[in-house]
Amino acid sequence: MEARGFALTPHAIRSGNFHLEGRTAVITGAGSGIGRAIARRFAASGARVLLLDIDGSQAEAVAREIAEAGGLAAAWECDVSRQQHVKAVFARIFREGRVHILVNNAGIAHVGKLEGTTEADFDRVFGVNVKGFYNCMLAAVEHMKSHSGGVILNLASIAAWAGLADRFAYSMSKGAVVAMTYSVAKDYIRENIRCNSMSPARVHTPFVDGYLRKNYPGREQEMFERLSQTQPIGRMAELEKIASLALFLCSDEASFITGTDYAIDGGFLHLHG
């Protein structure tokens, strides 16, 4: 549970038009996939990034990548589903200084419709994808209130809005994320805390590649193309595009935006079919 820091240069590399100089961002699930991409983009845009992941070694690896690129980063092992663990990690983080941004990204998938979802499956998905977000927001919001505000960004999914086949528990969890986002935005707007969410469609991540290798050996490219074509734009989202939207929503350029879910879906929700 101890922080793992690295020797870093005094300032990070600027990237794009939106900047986070002087800001500290906590990013959960930052050891891979979308979380890793957001952490790298935030660091390249001037933020000090604190990388939380249940796999501390993966978080360390990302922090080293960021350090090698001239950014500021530290890695923390954290199981977001355990409230006392989250409270302890955040307490240590807060002793080091102010946190301006929280990105709730840590999540797990589950394939199965209602009858194919056991109670254990349901509890596992809920524990990470819903309770995990609750735990981190609960740990952060009092700190943000006492420091004149902050920004919370929650990773939801188009599964919150669309009827995806065989995604019962996952869809449930992401619908809850959107509802929590609206509630927190409403309740803390006077404390200068902005809260938004993003709902990606299918994103090309290492998880997708692993899924195809496991379930379609020898047919990976064929199935990759088939999955890509389920989105009207004809391709999966690139990790960097998700990170770019996250950067905008957490920057001052988005200071008038709160209580909103952003679909980043290649036209899936409104152009599909």
Catalytic residues: 170
**How far are the Cα atoms of 29, 37, 212 from residue 12, in angstroms, in the given order?**
22, 16, 36
Cα–Cα distance, 234 to 255 (Å, whole number): 32
| Buried-state track 10-37, b at ≥16 Cβ within 10 A, e below 16 | eebeebeebbbeebbbbbbbbbbbbbbb
**How far are the Cα atoms of 5, 68, 97, 155 from residue 106, in angstroms, in the given order?**
21, 24, 23, 8
Cα–Cα distance, 145 to 182 (Å, whole number): 18
